[in-house]
């Protein structure tokens, strides 16, 4: 699948298939009938769809295309998100645990549950959950950045750098990934331009990055 909305079908038995373009909440933006093998490609005109940003670009997630979340897990996740928006974090976490019991490969549930673990300062659990989510959906820079942050908090610098670099390859302006990258490099004794640039990118969201950056500037030339 490509980011312009086109993709091809391969290795499917002959027959008619209804292809739907939906979001995770189940809202259907468009649908088409595909006859295999006479028709093996389909394209959605994203620019004409209400609620879809036609300017969005980036890699397409194989996980999103291939993983079917069970209905029970999806409903529990939707309830968890609703509880989170209402400020009921404990209820949301419990619902996420139930969703993951139904589908242990549900990346969105793993990610949100990992964020709660971070907030609770359970860094070992957080890094495990966030890494799992990022590994499943490795084209999501926010998942990768949060996995980097989880490992940074758990004092696992090698893994933190790995996930931060992966996030920055997809989204060079990602502030959380830049924050983790800059501080981890600094702790390893690297005060070069790459480190300074990352801290600059992160400084508008992370005051501590701005403070470190000022200290570096006052200490003289970077190595």
Q: pLDDT tens across 18-37, in order?
A: 777 666 556 677 777 777 66
pLDDT, position 58: 55
DSSP string across 149-203: HHHHHTT-HHHHHHHHHHHHHH-TT-HHHHHHHHHHHHHTT--SHHHHHHHHHHT
Place of tokens 């969005």: 56
Mean residue pLDDT across the chain: 85
pTM of the model: 0.75
Average pLDDT over residues 83-109: 96
Average pLDDT over residues 191-205: 93
pLDDT tier at 218, thresholds 50, 70, 90: confident
Residue 5 has pLDDT above 50, yes or no: no
Residue 71 has pLDDT above 90, yes or no: yes
- In sign, the C-alpha dihedral spanning 81, 87, 89, 95 is negative
Which of 27-31, 40-44, 108-112, 162-166 has the weakest average pLDDT?
40-44
Residue 64 has pLDDT above 50, yes or no: yes
DSSP secondary structure code for residue 8 in this structure: E
Residue 105 has pLDDT above 90, yes or no: yes
pLDDT, position 163: 97
pLDDT, position 27: 67
Which of 42-56, 115-129, 137-151 has the weakest average pLDDT?
42-56
Average pLDDT over residues 132-150: 95
Say which residues have a Cβ less than 8 Å from residue 141's Cβ, sequence separation at least 6: 167, 168, 170, 171, 174, 177
């Amino acid at each position: 699948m490509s980011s312009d909305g086109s993709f091809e079908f391969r290795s499917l038995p002959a027959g008619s298939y209804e292809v739907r373009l939906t979001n995770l909440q189940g809202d259907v933006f468009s649908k088409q009938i595909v006859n295999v093998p006479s028709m093996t490609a389909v394209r959605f005109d994203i620019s004409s769809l209400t609620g879809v940003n036609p300017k969005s670009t980036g890699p397409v997630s194989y996980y999103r295309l291939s993983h079917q979340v069970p209905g029970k897990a999806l409903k529990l996740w939707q309830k968890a998100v609703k509880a989170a928006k209402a400020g009921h974090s404990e209820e949301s976490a419990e619902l996420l645990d139930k969703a993951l019991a139904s589908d242990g490969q549900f990346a969105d549930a793993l990610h949100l549950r990992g964020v709660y673990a971070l907030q609770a300062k359970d860094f070992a659990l957080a890094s495990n959950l966030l890494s799992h989510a990022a590994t499943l959906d490795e084209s999501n820079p926010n998942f990768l950045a949060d996995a980097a942050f989880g490992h940074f908090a758990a004092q696992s610098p090698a893994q933190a750098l790995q996930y931060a670099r992966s996030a920055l390859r997809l989204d060079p302006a990602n502030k959380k990934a830049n924050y983790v990258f800059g501080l981890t490099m600094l702790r390893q004794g690297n005060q070069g331009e790459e480190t300074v640039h990352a801290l600059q990118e992160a400084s508008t969201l992370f005051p501590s990055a701005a403070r470190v950056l000022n200290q570096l500037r006052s200490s003289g030339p970077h190595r």
